[in-house]
Amino acid sequence: MTIETCSIEVSGIVQGIGYRPFVYNLATSVGISGTVQNLGDAGVRIIAVGNRDKIISFIEKLKTSKPKLCVYDSFTVKWDVKLSNLPQKFEIIKSSNEKLGAGFSYLPPDIAICDQCVNELLHSEDIRRRNYPFNSCVDCGPRFTVIDKLPYDRPNTVMRDFPFCDECLKDYLSSNDRRFHAQTTCCHYCGPKYLLYDDKGEKLPYSTHSEIVKFVAQQIEAGKIVAIKGIGGTHIACSTKNDETLLRLREVKGKRKYKPFAIMAKDVESILSFAHINEKERELLESFRRPIVLLNKNSNYDLSEWVSPKLHNIGVMLPYAGIHYMLFEHLKDTTIVMTSANPSNYPMFIENDEIISKLPYVDYFLLHDRTIYQRCDDSVLRINNIGNDRYSVKFLRRSRGWVPEPLIAHIDVGNKTLLAVGGEMHLIPSLMKGNRIIPTQHIGTVTLIETFDFMLNAIKHFTDLYQVKIDSIAYDLHPQYLTSTSIDEIRAFFDAKAYSPFQHHKAHIASVALEHHVDPEEEILGLAIDGTGYGDDKTIWGGEIFGGKIYSLERLAHNQRFYLPGGDLAVKHPLRTLLAFLVKNYTDDEILNMIPQISSKQTSEEKIRFILGQLRAEKLPSSFITSSTGRFLDAISVFLNICVEQTFEGEPAIRLESHAYNAKEKEPSIDFQWRGNELNLSDIFPQINEYKKSFSTRAIAYAVQKGLGQSYGQRLNEYAEERGVNKVLISGGVSFNQIIIKNIVKEIDTKRISVLLNEKVSPGDGGISIGQLYLLSLKHLI
């Protein structure tokens, strides 16, 4: 029998998912010898030695029987490899720092605890596993948050602080055990532990995890607030039904007057008692990624109104760590609030001393002693029905469960490494090498030095992980973003050669183009609708129709331009924006008579008259001029007395959509008119004022959003016909709005024109860096 040799090199998601144990067991079952080895860029090399037919069978089974989380990006087979010694058996050998190719390979994200480990946790007779919250195996557990360098081996993770006990080492080395080469393997005797502290930081004398969790569950049900350190950060947990506790939490967290809290539910059946779930939402909820999913409340909703006040939906996730399952074993309620512990715009708290010192309002602290090497917030998604049985996945936040999985681009920058930092809000920077783009975890809004430093360190983690040096950087055109004003510092920090600014809304459109692999030479139409973005003309854009090739988009049309009196003050107090519209059609006295309830809540008559005077004289700076769709929706929200003050980002427009949800009566017709290349907005307000006499505010709210969507769709249809274009790309934060997008799509001739939306990254500013990278890569390639 002729002995042949073969080398198989694979990249993709092949480390951290039990791939080497899978290869080992497959090789021994087929009857070949050889080796399997992790490589330094997260790839894997396999040497197969044996009969050719057996090796061919082995290769085929590598492709068809791979682990459920395995994804191959490349699978290269080379025959007749020269070996100094022929191996006599198959072995998992020591990892190498060698790399396969130019692009990034990658690790899986943090993976929710699997059913087998949950069963052991709750029901096993094995004292090592029962009630042990860090139970994991080759198929589950943390990955991204525990690794500090490649390849993915235990010494390169924070688990090096927890040496195996004899029994865990036996499991780790046994090819018949599902913990065979599972790097996070541990148990009661050798692994991390949870400890409980009171509000003064004193450790409480509970000796077992079961006792600790039972006490915590009792305290939550008694109305206490508990900080729980998890996989990638720290949550605040409390009851979902205790108004007093929730109001206290809103008061002490600051800036949380109405901002919704995410909750965790025991299981899907528990969720169905208060919310609707469609098939796609259920699939996401139960996936190994376990994101927060925005679900529509149902008529039986019985949680406190203060969980998600004045909204039609609620953010819900299922348990994804052992500690969560243990809590629900002791809780009578099947839901708890699980919101981030850090204040808005600050990085997540991950150090035990910091958690205790910076959360003085917390009654108890449930903290573990495993290092969180990388913060990673919960991902948040929404599934929108956009008509014609089409559902669109919308990332509000792409983080835990997805990071560090890459996007695969349709262009290749070779050995160059490009960085895009994004904008300012909801920041998620991204790196590109070859044809792979890796977005970092969610960073947040970068207005504070702490968050800026977190951004730099998060990017550096990836450059260190993949041992790359950044060649060029993309950033936002806005001259006042911290990421823009500090671009020289960022360039110096990474020793990059060059940097380039890109217009905010063009980057939004480019992000859709990259997701859907739109040819850069193809003529497209783009609609960017959001709250804020610095325009080429140095005004604030936010309602723009573009046409052309991705790298040379032309602004074809836009919303009517209007003033934001006071700039950011108008965002906080949208009555100011409303005045900018009303002044076009009414006298000062008419305006004051129209808004007595609104004005008394926000400002005096004298102040309103002063603002109106400025507007009529057009004495405001040009930087206060905008075409923002988000700010227009804010003004509508105020005019209908739905939301008169922004207490969290986007609140007036978000509550406008919620208010229109399930409007029972037939809505009036709102007539938006295009005047040349400008969509008139101010003439909508007299229509609304008249409709207030005979229609509910719910019906009017729905009608405005429907009419706006129709007007965009009609104009896009016209441009597509004029220009011979068959692709429309839509992005920006307002594209979260289901009513608007559904009516845009309804107006477009979808038999002839493809409507493309963000579904792999956020259409909001969390996806900006993807578009910046596409534009930067084209600058390098064209």
Residues marked active site are found at 20, 38
Radius of gyration of the chain (CA): 28
Q: Where are the beta strands (DSSP E) in 356-470?
A: 364-368, 380-385, 391-397, 407-408, 417-420, 430-433, 436-439
Residue 142: asked if its preceding bond is cis (omega within 30°), the reply is: no
- Pick from 593, 558, 497: nearest CA to 715: 558
List the end-to-end C-alpha distance of the chain, in Å, as a whole number. Answer: 55
- How far apart CA 597 and CA 283 sit, in angstroms, is 45
Q: Name the residue type at position 258.
A: Y
Residues 657 and 739: beta-carbon distance below 8 Å: yes
How would you class 80 by CB atoms within 10 Å of its CB: exposed for 0-12, middle for 13-18, buried for 19 or more? exposed
Distance of CA 272 to the CA centre of its chain: 24
Residue 302 C-beta-side C-alpha neighbours within 13 Å: 8
- Pick from 416, 445, 443, 420: nearest CA to 430: 420
- How far apart CA 680 and CA 659 sit, in angstroms, is 24
Query: How crowded is residue 278: how many other Cβ atoms within 10 Å of its Cβ?
Result: 12
Residue 78 pairs in a beta bridge with 7
Residues 6+ apart with CB under 8 A from 529: 542, 543, 544, 629, 630, 712, 730, 732, 733, 734, 735, 740
Q: And the tokens for 388?
A: 């014609």
Q: And the tokens for 162?
A: 């927890």
Kindly report the length of the chain: 782
- How far apart CA 633 and CA 23 sit, in angstroms, is 56
- Say which residue the tokens 């006792």 belong to: 211
Buried b / exposed e across 571-594, counting CB within 10 Å, b at 16+? bebbbbbbbbbbbbebebeebeeb
- How far apart CA 501 and CA 473 sit, in angstroms, is 9
Q: And the tokens for 449?
A: 């030095």
Residues 355 and 244: beta-carbon distance below 8 Å: no
Residues 295 and 394: beta-carbon distance below 8 Å: no
- How far apart CA 504 and CA 683 sit, in angstroms, is 28
- How far apart CA 697 and CA 702 sit, in angstroms, is 8
SS3 554: strand
Residue 351 C-beta-side C-alpha neighbours within 13 Å: 5
Residue 404: asked if its preceding bond is cis (omega within 30°), the reply is: yes
Residue 480 pairs in a beta bridge with none
Q: And the tokens for 186?
A: 């541990």
- Say which residue the tokens 């390169």 belong to: 156
Q: And the tokens for 753?
A: 């024109």
For 774, list phi and psi in degrees, rounded to 5: -60, -45
Residues 763 and 736: beta-carbon distance below 8 Å: yes
Containing H/E element for 44? strand 44-50
- Pick from 422, 584, 543, 399: nearest CA to 490: 422
Q: How many angstroms separate the Cα of 29 from the Cα of each of 17, 23, 172, 510?
A: 20, 10, 19, 48
